[in-house]
Structure 1
Amino acid sequence: MQKLIAFLTLLLLAVLCLGLVVINNEMLGDYRIDLTEDKVYSLSEGSQRVLNDIDEPIVLNFYFSDTASKGMTSLRNYANRVQSLLEEYESRANGKITLNVIDPEPFSEAEDRANQFGLTGATLGPVGDAIYFGLAGTNAVDSQFTINFFDPQKERFLEYDISKLIYQLSEPEPVQLTLLTDINLMGGQNPMSGQVTPAMTFYSQLGQLYEITTIGSDAAQIPENTDVLVVIHPQNLSESLQYSIDQFAMRQGRILLFVDPHYESDAMAMMGSLQANKSDFGLLESWGIDAGLDSVILDGRLGLDIRTPEGAVTRHPGIIGLTGEQLNREDVVTSNLELVNGSSFAPLKLAEGSNLTLTPLAYSSADAVIVDGAEYALTQDPQALQRMLDSSETQRITLAARFSGPATSAFTQAPATESASELNMAHVSRTTKLNLIVFSDADLLADRFWVQQANFFGETIYTPFANNGDAIINASENLAGSDALISIRGRGTYARPFEQVQALQVAAEARFREQEERLQNQLQQTEEQLAQLQNVQTESGALTLTPEQQAALDTFIAQRNEIRRELRDVRYQLERDIDQLGNYLKLLNIAISPLLLVTVLWGLARLLRRRAGKKTLEAIGS
């Protein structure tokens, strides 16, 4: 009888488990729990806001060469991660996103379509097949945006890249960017040399991405249709223009600001001047930001070498190069930058009592000192500047930062001027979320700090030697997205070190390396023979091959294809043990663990029944 009860109990538990699985798949598919450490399979609040703002249907075509990537375990695991995240987007979009998973096999229509989208077919592994691993999105008006290739090294920004693509598809209107500066960005005739100078390179690059309106300090207000405001070395701004900028910020407008304690790249402004050519932007202090525009940063470790008028080479501590160690790898603006050059940076920090949040984007080394800006402007000798480094007060200083959070307007009401009254908008005294990126140097925009231009048969060729332009584009692009996009930061990585897998991989590679090298040598010899045969045909000028040559060519091609097939099999064997281990783990998680749990629960239930029966017998006996 007890055996029958135990069997029925196990049968009931199995039916219950199966029923729960069916209910979960059919009714609870939209409800998930992400138990990973960094929630890498969940969407952030910012991504969900992007999905909520979708008006028209969007189609996402995920191209991954599943067949050609056979044996590439790491890449395939990352592809599964990307596909799972895309499925989460589709699930959370309430039917507004359709996801298509496509394997673009060689010479197929799918591969042609991937090429039409502009996706990158990367040649990975020894076989030489093109591997597609990208995303192409389209909307109802046939606009399309792509992620050419999902680079595993950029996994931390995977969610941001996908959300940005969806946002671009849902907001097809071009971004309106307003540039506020008195600096000559568009080039023209140089009044000092008389030569015609081209436009600044960063300005040309921005013009390829956005619709740009340029205004000067004499403007009364910024254009009403402005999406992103870029302010460069502001000086002498009218009260009405400052009010317009302030209200743009209070209405959560996005601002990219370049201020400078001593802008050295304006030769006309520097002629005959003995004072520091510093920016003037008093709104920062009102918003809760201390830009320190009366000070300049000297860095003994990051100073760049310059050539003196006498022809010698010396290090200039005021002209510094920020390497990857000084750039924030956790923020999308600076994560992929390696070098940013600039001159006479100012220190950035929060003002006392500020409620803003400061996220550093770039900072000095720990060997930096703060000196007076006016004294720096008067000191032309780099050796004298180096002597200023002899200080015990060295520190690490923020040079570029993102500011967000609550801020108060610099004005209590609109200025009583005719131009200000024409603004025709209600005064906003406070914002809950300031969107502002500040670089404390404007010289880094000048070409001489990051790019060389050359004329090649009438075409201007740009050769960058630093990432200044990338920093500007990244910051503009990030701000050009919605507030939701700006809030998305780099997420964690899903990969964790697995020592047992690494040991298996080392053993497998040792076992199959000799066979792989032999096949590689055969493939190389076959391709050399093919090349020789083609050279013979080219030298002879014959349009057709002799029967013997054609037979040899067919043999070589067939041999090459066979070697490539064997190479694919070898790569598969290299990873087979790892795949088997993965299958064992899946079996352990899916089948054995639940069975063990059921067995333990059944054992506990039986033990409790025995104890209850024993107590009953004892009670009857007493």
Structure 2
Amino acid sequence: MKENKFRSFLYSAAGVVLVLIVVVALNFVLGRSRLRLDLTEARLHTLSPGTRQILARIAKGDSDVTVNFYVSQKGNRLPPMEEAFARQVEDLLAEFSAGSGGHLRVKKLDPQPDSEVEDAAKLDGVEPQMMQQTGEPYYLGLSVILDPQKVSIPSLSAQRDKLLEYDLARAISQVTQTTKPVVGIMSPLPLMGTPSNPFMARMGQQGSEPWVFVSELKRDFDVQTVAMDSESIDPKVQVLLVLHPKDITEKAQYAIDQFVLRGGRLVAMLDSLCLADNRQPNQMGFNMGGGSSLPRLLKSWGLEFTTNQVVADAQYSREINFGRGPQAAPAFLFLNKDAIAKGDALFEQTDDLLLPFGGAFTGKPADGLRQEVLLSSSKDSQLVDPITAQLNGPKVRDDLVPSNIQYALAVRLTGKFKTAFPDGKPAGDDKKDGAKTNEVAQVQQKEGKTENTVYLFGDSDFLYDPYCVRVDRMFHVATPFNGNLSLGQNLVEQVAGDSSLIGARSRASVRRPFTVVQKKQAEAQKRFQAEIGRLQKDVEEAQTKISEIQSKKEGNQKYILSPESKAALDNLTKKQTEANRNLRKVRKDLRQEVESMENTVKWINIAAMPFLVTITGIGLAVARRQRTAAK
């Protein structure tokens, strides 16, 4: 009996050891392999169709593309986070190589200090980074080469891991192109950055960096500035970006008109309240100026733009902390997939956009033009005064009356455009009459020869750094926190560049907003709206009557009220206090209901899977015991 027990123990021990050996061996083998199972809904860890198209072009080419991947390997010379990221880069490069049919060759190089490989890294444009703890240099970067073209990514960072596939795909696309398309930017805003000079520095004013959007465009395109008072657009410009064209002249609109008719692609980003335009703020720091539009062109195209009203939306708004605690901001539109055009390549896998204080397009396209709405509000929206929306978001939220209209926030016009200037170039003082430009020298075009496409957006702030990226000034790394930057770049690439990059980039901005929670919040707001409005009315009426009583004091009654007036004033003050107390309670109840909804959804997401696994395990155990008992 004892011998059997001892033998069973040996067998059990041997079985455990054998299982342990098998597990360790499998872990070692699978750890060395690059096989991955992607179970995410959006296939975030699978090469996008756009990347595969770029790699397919390489496979069909006559020459191979070489990637020199420089990474410090010996002596623990990488920060722990970057070490894991380096493995991720290597895995992705291996997938790229396989996707190209072996026509993309990857060389992994270790630039040791004072070595020939380190010299090669510097020649390839890869620069050392410094470890924060020790200050020692390390390398993590690459260069993509297709003779004679070379594109470098000087430093790779885990902070930009979501954009890794796009960065690699873009570098590969760039080396396969011989020339860069020319993109013109017309705007009164300092998109290109402002230089610093000693005189302004002494006054406390520093220069500014270019917008991240512009910096990213410069990596793929030849970006040129087009003056706001231009009378013609350089024929070399293929795409014209017009951002916040405030106070644009008739002649500049004529130049844009002729640019579109000759086949140039226009992307216009108008605004009802431009937060980036801080050239003339009031004493409180708010922007009190008007909006921007292309009135002559829009009228010709059959559209109008609400330069004096912004869209407030109960469904797409959130509370925002402006430094004084969370406050309602119904004109800050956090758009999800329900607000975005379905099936449009421009928004592929992009379901999280932010449009602050955007305006709406109304009207019907002119004959010969077709309109597609790209972004729209919900029906729980209303056009409101932009200044009130900026200064008093809670009041706009409480007073909001749903219009039952889905306002067009961005549209695409397609067709044969006709000139908005049938009588010719606008008259005026021509300072440049002596030097006729290309547009002036040519006969005015009355209509486009072929169909063209124009993109119109009711907001320009969505590409302003604070509303699309978080910038690490120390490491000069910009990390997108929504899909705004991707949308801006997709726009330009779709009309001028390699459209295959659209799919590669969109993967970086995929988020899963709680769309159900947002709808429930809007429904809760509706339920409490009537009570909040009634209480606010009571408060305002009480305040008005108090002011009336106080205004009736005569000179010798400045500090003395009659008993009747004092009693009335005390009664009104009491009513006002009670109304304010009730109003705070109703708002508190609304806030608690919304928070309860959010917490419920979060706990369901967090606990549902472990709960289901536990219940399944218990059920299997009970069933097994019942089968054993039956035997």
- Residues 73/236 of structure 1: CA separation in 2 closer, same or farther (3 Å cut): closer
Corresponding position of 2:135? none
Alignment pair present for 1:295 and 2:314: no
Corresponding position of 2:558? none
Question: What's the offset of the Cα at 1:438?
Answer: 1.6
**Counterpart among 229, 233, 239 of residue 222 in structure 1:** 233
Question: What's the offset of the Cα at 1:143?
Answer: 5.5
Corresponding position of 1:394? 404
Question: What's the offset of the Cα at 1:198?
Answer: 2.3
Question: What's the offset of the Cα at 1:134?
Answer: 2.8
Between the aligned partners of 2:38 and 2:336, the Cα distance in structure 1 is 33
Alignment deviations for residues 423-473 of structure 1 (CA, whole Å, 9 cap, x no partner): 3222111124232112110111221112222332xx422232222211111
Alignment pair present for 1:245 and 2:259: no
Alignment pair present for 1:328 and 2:289: no
Alignment pair present for 1:281 and 2:291: no
Q: What percentage of residue pairs aligned between the two structures are identical?
A: 20
Question: What's the offset of the Cα at 1:69?
Answer: 9.6
Question: What's the offset of the Cα at 1:219?
Answer: 2.8
Between the aligned partners of 1:244 and 1:390, the Cα distance in structure 2 is 41
Alignment pair present for 1:371 and 2:384: yes
- Residues 69/82 of structure 1: CA separation in 2 closer, same or farther (3 Å cut): farther
Corresponding position of 1:99? 60
- Residues 167/354 of structure 1: CA separation in 2 closer, same or farther (3 Å cut): farther
Corresponding position of 2:374? 361
The aligned amino acid for 1:476 is V
Between the aligned partners of 1:82 and 1:274, the Cα distance in structure 2 is 41
| Contact 1:187–1:200 under 8 Å retained in 2 | no
Question: What's the offset of the Cα at 1:314?
Answer: 1.6
Corresponding position of 1:470? 486
Between the aligned partners of 1:435 and 1:72, the Cα distance in structure 2 is 40
Alignment pair present for 1:134 and 2:152: no
**Counterpart among 433, 436, 447 of residue 451 in structure 2:** 433
- Residues 409/144 of structure 1: CA separation in 2 closer, same or farther (3 Å cut): farther
Question: What's the offset of the Cα at 1:212?
Answer: 1.4
**Counterpart among 181, 186, 203 of residue 187 in structure 2:** 181
| Contact 2:348–2:503 under 8 Å retained in 1 | no
Corresponding position of 1:203? 214
Question: What's the offset of the Cα at 1:480?
Answer: 0.8
* Equivalent residue runs for 1:406-421 within 5 Å: 406-412=416-422, 413-416=424-427, 418=430, 419=432
Alignment deviations for residues 493-532 of structure 1 (CA, whole Å, 9 cap, x no partner): xxxxxxxxxxxxxxxxxxxxxxxxxxxxxxxxxxxxxxxx
Between the aligned partners of 2:452 and 2:337, the Cα distance in structure 1 is 27
- Residues 433/139 of structure 1: CA separation in 2 closer, same or farther (3 Å cut): farther
Between the aligned partners of 2:304 and 2:171, the Cα distance in structure 1 is 35
Alignment pair present for 1:337 and 2:350: yes
| Contact 1:333–1:474 under 8 Å retained in 2 | yes
Between the aligned partners of 2:328 and 2:206, the Cα distance in structure 1 is 31
Question: What's the offset of the Cα at 1:371?
Answer: 2.5
The aligned amino acid for 1:467 is G
Between the aligned partners of 1:170 and 1:453, the Cα distance in structure 2 is 30
* Equivalent residue runs for 1:468-507 within 5 Å: 468-481=484-497
- Residues 325/134 of structure 1: CA separation in 2 closer, same or farther (3 Å cut): farther
Alignment pair present for 1:305 and 2:266: no
Question: What's the offset of the Cα at 1:206?
Answer: 1.5
Between the aligned partners of 1:312 and 1:84, the Cα distance in structure 2 is 46
Between the aligned partners of 1:188 and 1:321, the Cα distance in structure 2 is 33
Question: What's the offset of the Cα at 1:83?
Answer: 14
- Residues 130/208 of structure 1: CA separation in 2 closer, same or farther (3 Å cut): closer
The aligned amino acid for 2:184 is T
The aligned amino acid for 1:441 is D
Question: What's the offset of the Cα at 1:475?
Answer: 0.5
Deviates more, 1:294-303 or 1:322-331: 322-331
The aligned amino acid for 1:299 is D
| Contact 1:174–1:211 under 8 Å retained in 2 | yes
Corresponding position of 1:494? none
Question: Any idea what SS the aligned residue of 1:198 has?
Answer: coil
Between the aligned partners of 2:99 and 2:317, the Cα distance in structure 1 is 40
The aligned amino acid for 1:395 is I
Question: Any idea what SS the aligned residue of 2:384 has?
Answer: strand
Question: What's the offset of the Cα at 1:123?
Answer: 8.2
| Contact 2:280–2:289 under 8 Å retained in 1 | no
Question: What's the offset of the Cα at 1:129?
Answer: 12
The aligned amino acid for 1:134 is G
Unaligned residue ranges in structure 1 (runs of 5+): 1-67, 91-96, 103-109, 146-161, 491-622
Greater relative contact order structure (CA < 8 Å, 6+ sep): 1
Alignment deviations for residues 523-579 of structure 1 (CA, whole Å, 9 cap, x no partner): xxxxxxxxxxxxxxxxxxxxxxxxxxxxxxxxxxxxxxxxxxxxxxxxxxxxxxxxx
Between the aligned partners of 2:344 and 2:372, the Cα distance in structure 1 is 9
The aligned amino acid for 2:485 is G
- Residues 317/133 of structure 1: CA separation in 2 closer, same or farther (3 Å cut): farther
Between the aligned partners of 1:472 and 1:361, the Cα distance in structure 2 is 13
Corresponding position of 1:212? 223
Question: Any idea what SS the aligned residue of 1:387 has?
Answer: helix
Between the aligned partners of 1:367 and 1:144, the Cα distance in structure 2 is 51
Between the aligned partners of 2:93 and 2:420, the Cα distance in structure 1 is 60
Between the aligned partners of 1:179 and 1:450, the Cα distance in structure 2 is 19
Question: Any idea what SS the aligned residue of 2:335 has?
Answer: strand
The aligned amino acid for 1:204 is S
Between the aligned partners of 2:233 and 2:189, the Cα distance in structure 1 is 17
| Contact 2:146–2:176 under 8 Å retained in 1 | no
Question: Any idea what SS the aligned residue of 1:183 has?
Answer: coil
Question: Any idea what SS the aligned residue of 1:357 has?
Answer: strand
Question: What's the offset of the Cα at 1:224?
Answer: 2.5
Question: What's the offset of the Cα at 1:234?
Answer: 0.4
Question: What's the offset of the Cα at 1:346?
Answer: 1.2
* Equivalent residue runs for 1:445-594 within 5 Å: 445-456=463-474, 459-481=475-497
Between the aligned partners of 2:51 and 2:292, the Cα distance in structure 1 is 48
Aligned residues: 377
- Residues 287/142 of structure 1: CA separation in 2 closer, same or farther (3 Å cut): farther
Between the aligned partners of 2:177 and 2:87, the Cα distance in structure 1 is 30
- Residues 367/224 of structure 1: CA separation in 2 closer, same or farther (3 Å cut): same
Deviates more, 1:471-480 or 1:345-354: 345-354
- Residues 470/83 of structure 1: CA separation in 2 closer, same or farther (3 Å cut): closer
Unaligned residue ranges in structure 2 (runs of 5+): 1-32, 71-84, 105-143, 152-168, 505-631
The aligned amino acid for 2:478 is Y
Question: Any idea what SS the aligned residue of 1:430 has?
Answer: coil
- Residues 396/172 of structure 1: CA separation in 2 closer, same or farther (3 Å cut): same
Structure 1 length as normaliser, TM-score? 0.51
* Equivalent residue runs for 1:244-263 within 5 Å: 244-263=255-274
Question: What's the offset of the Cα at 1:298?
Answer: 0.4
- Residues 72/470 of structure 1: CA separation in 2 closer, same or farther (3 Å cut): closer
Between the aligned partners of 1:447 and 1:129, the Cα distance in structure 2 is 30
RMSD (CA atoms): 4.7
